[in-house]
């Protein structure tokens, strides 16, 4: 399953005892529940699905992965 979109935490607050974050997705902002990531910090990238944050995204891991793929494509080599 299924549709989850990466966004960046731009504000944090509590409401009725529930931890919420304002998450920015490229020109769109939505209030998302981050009870599942209580230590999430401002500026973190999170994966959002059905109104909650599933997990924090490791942007460095993403960048590394893309770089490796680009190198492999450029070299047209066999994989590891």
Q: Compute CA 49 distance to the chain's CA centroid, rounded to the nearest angstrom.
A: 10
Q: Buried b vs exposed e over 51-65: b needs ≥16 C-beta within 10 Å?
A: eebeebbeeeeeeee
Per the structure block, which two tokens stand in for 8?
């960046």
* Nearer Cβ to another protein (42/69): 69
- Rule CB under 8 A: is residue 41 a binding residue for another protein? no
Per the structure block, which two tokens stand in for 31?
């209030």
- Rule CB under 8 A: is residue 12 a binding residue for another protein? no
Q: Which of 14, 28, 41, 43 binds another protein (CB under 8 A)?
A: 28
Whole-angstrom CA distances from 20 to 25, 61, 79 are 16, 26, 42
Q: How far is the CB of 55 from another protein (least distance, A)?
A: 4
Which residues would be at the binding site for another protein (CB under 8 A)?
A: 1-6, 16-18, 25-30, 33, 35-38, 45, 47-52, 54-55, 57-59, 61-62, 65-66, 69-70, 72-73, 76, 78-80
């Amino acid at each position: 399953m299924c549709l989850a979109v990466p966004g960046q935490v731009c504000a944090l607050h509590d409401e009725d005892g529930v931890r919420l974050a304002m998450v920015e997705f490229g020109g769109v902002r939505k209030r998302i529940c981050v009870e599942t990531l209580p230590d999430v910090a401002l500026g973190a990238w999170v994966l959002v699905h059905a109104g909650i944050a599933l997990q924090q995204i490791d942007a460095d891991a993403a960048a590394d992965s893309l770089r490796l793929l680009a190198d492999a494509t450029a070299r047209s080599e066999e994989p590891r």
